[in-house]
Amino acid sequence: MVSLARKNLLEDFSRFLVAQLGITFAVSLVTIQAGLLEGFGRSATLLINQSEADVWIASSELRYFGLTLPIEYQTVIDAKSVEGVASAEPLLMQSAIWRRSETANIDPVQIIGLEPTGSLLPLRTVAGASVTELEKPYTVLVDQIDLDALSITALDQTAKINNYPAVVLGWTRGVKSIVSSPYVFTSLETANLYLNFPRFDEKEPPPTFLPLIEPSSRITYVMVKASPETSLADLKQRLKAALPNHTVLSSAELKLLTRRYWLASTSVGFILGLGAGVGMIVGVVIVSQILYSSVSDRLQEYGTLKAMGASDWYLYRIIIEQALWMAVLGYLPGLGLCLGLGMWTMQARAIQIIITPQLAIAVFSTTVVMCVSASLLAVQKVMRLDPAQVFRA
């Protein structure tokens, strides 16, 4: 037998459909904002997530992953001599200017210099040469999503970085951060030339041999892999003792530091949280309006039930059941819409809308609370109803 709550909902199908569309919109808005918040945090720590490093060594002036002062390459040599270090590799990261070959337009890029034969920042190419080919001077890799932004139309195309040539050997996939300029990967030697040796006279040919990496050469991070038998806490203490003027953080600590900066020290967290709050308010208003209208249209029915001896709890249960059905039927299409939208934004612009199981459960719980709260507002009219009104005139 169809329950009275479901019968009331489906009796006016057009009104029911409008209510479900409103709840779906509210669910989608809350989910997208929360998913963007999680995706933004992961995007800000993209290279840390890609890395196999257990510990990161940086300047003592480290603010977050994208903002720190340079350190010397000697730090890599010193880290390798510390007990418990299986491997240590340098990472040079700094902004530069990308000049398209066919126009005078310039674009900001983030140069990432690494050891092409290293293992602590593994990159897989989906077209062109592998990472090991970056040992050739003036060769780079870019991400597939950035091809249009950098006006790259074919492999082996040549552009300029800080007035030096840059030959695009291939491209990666999924190494695009929405908090940074396009990543351009190259060898440590080539990155050192691009960033630390400005070229002012373009008429002269670029040097054939790249400057050697010396102990005093500038880098940004040292990525450290712990040996299997070494405790991470013990390794951090040894590295701090060996490198007292540096910051030593585990990958988890560096991720947390970076996420806190972007979500707490900037307006990103506030704006996305505000969007989620607006979605909840919209949902409460829509559901309460629909339920209040439904209750108003059936006051005589509810009055008859009260006159027949129906308890307040029974009437509460009818209206709350309506709210629960609306929550479930509005949540499912809203979640499906967000999952589809997340797949599209990831493929199109590398914008992650991450909907974890925990987030899905939290949004469902929020939807239920939202609908039930709205129903409690609507049910007050029934609770104040005098059954004798049913028998008047």
DSSP states along 190-222: HHHHHHHS----TTSPPPSSPPPP-TT-EESEE
Backbone angles phi, psi at 320, to 5 degrees: -65, -35
The residue count for the chain: 393
Query: What are the angstrom distances between the C-alpha of 186 and each of 100, 110, 113, 142, 205?
Result: 17, 11, 5, 9, 20
The answer to whether 143 touches 174, Cβ cutoff 8 Å, is yes
- The answer to whether residues 362 and 232 belong to one domain is no
Bridge partners for 89 per DSSP: 223
- The answer to whether residues 191 and 150 belong to one domain is yes
Does 251 reside within a domain?
A: no
- Single-letter amino acid, residue 383: M
Beta strands in 152-201 (DSSP E): 158-161, 164-172, 183-187
What is the pLDDT, as a whole number, of residue 295? Answer: 67
- The answer to whether residues 379 and 338 belong to one domain is yes
pLDDT band, residue 174 (cuts 50/70/90): confident
Residue 57 predicted with pLDDT over 80: yes
What is the pLDDT, as a whole number, of residue 1? Answer: 35
Q: What is the CA radius of gyration of the chain?
A: 30
Q: What is the mean pLDDT of residues 312-323?
A: 78
- The answer to whether residues 164 and 130 belong to one domain is yes
Query: What are the angstrom distances between the C-alpha of 122 and each of 118, 186, 195, 227, 369?
Result: 8, 13, 22, 18, 45
> How many folded domains does the chain comprise?
2
Q: What is the mean pLDDT of residues 59-74?
A: 94
C-alpha 34/C-alpha 362 separation (Å) is 10
- The answer to whether residues 85 and 231 belong to one domain is yes
- The answer to whether residues 156 and 83 belong to one domain is yes
Q: What is the mean pLDDT of residues 50-76?
A: 95
Note the pLDDT tens digit of each residue in 211-249.
Answer: 889 999 999 999 999 999 999 999 999 999 999 999 999
pLDDT band, residue 29 (cuts 50/70/90): confident
Residues ≥6 apart with Cβ < 8 Å to 329: 20, 23
Instruction: Give percent of the chain with pLDDT exceeding 70.
Output: 86
What is the pLDDT, as a whole number, of residue 86? Answer: 95
- The answer to whether residues 222 and 349 belong to one domain is no
Does 348 reside within a domain?
A: yes
C-alpha 7/C-alpha 9 separation (Å) is 5
- DSSP of 94-112, one letter per residue? EEEEEE-SSSS-EEEEEEE
What is the pLDDT, as a whole number, of residue 121? Answer: 95
**pTM for this one?**
0.80
- Single-letter amino acid, residue 199: R
Tokens at 116, concatenated: 């092409």
Query: What are the angstrom distances between the C-alpha of 269 and each of 260, 350, 362?
Result: 10, 19, 18
- The answer to whether residues 235 and 375 belong to one domain is no
What is the pLDDT, as a whole number, of residue 385? Answer: 59
Q: In which domain, by residue range, is 11 found?
A: 4-44+267-391
pLDDT band, residue 42 (cuts 50/70/90): confident
Does 249 reside within a domain?
A: no
Does 312 reside within a domain?
A: yes
Q: Identify which of 284, 294, 289, 236 has the alpha carbon closest to the alpha carbon of residue 12.
A: 294
Tokens at 326, concatenated: 């609306």
- The answer to whether residues 225 and 116 belong to one domain is yes
- The answer to whether residues 196 and 309 belong to one domain is no
Does 258 reside within a domain?
A: no
Q: Identify which of 285, 320, 294 has the alpha carbon closest to the alpha carbon of residue 15.
A: 294
What is the pLDDT, as a whole number, of residue 142? Answer: 95
254 vs 268, which has greater pLDDT?
A: 254
What is the pLDDT, as a whole number, of residue 114? Answer: 96
What is the pLDDT, as a whole number, of residue 251? Answer: 96
Query: What are the angstrom distances between the C-alpha of 217 and each of 89, 90, 91, 134?
Result: 14, 11, 12, 19
Does 55 reside within a domain?
A: no
C-alpha 100/C-alpha 95 separation (Å) is 16
Q: What is the mean pLDDT of residues 378-386?
A: 65
Residue 393 predicted with pLDDT over 60: no
Residue 389 predicted with pLDDT over 70: no
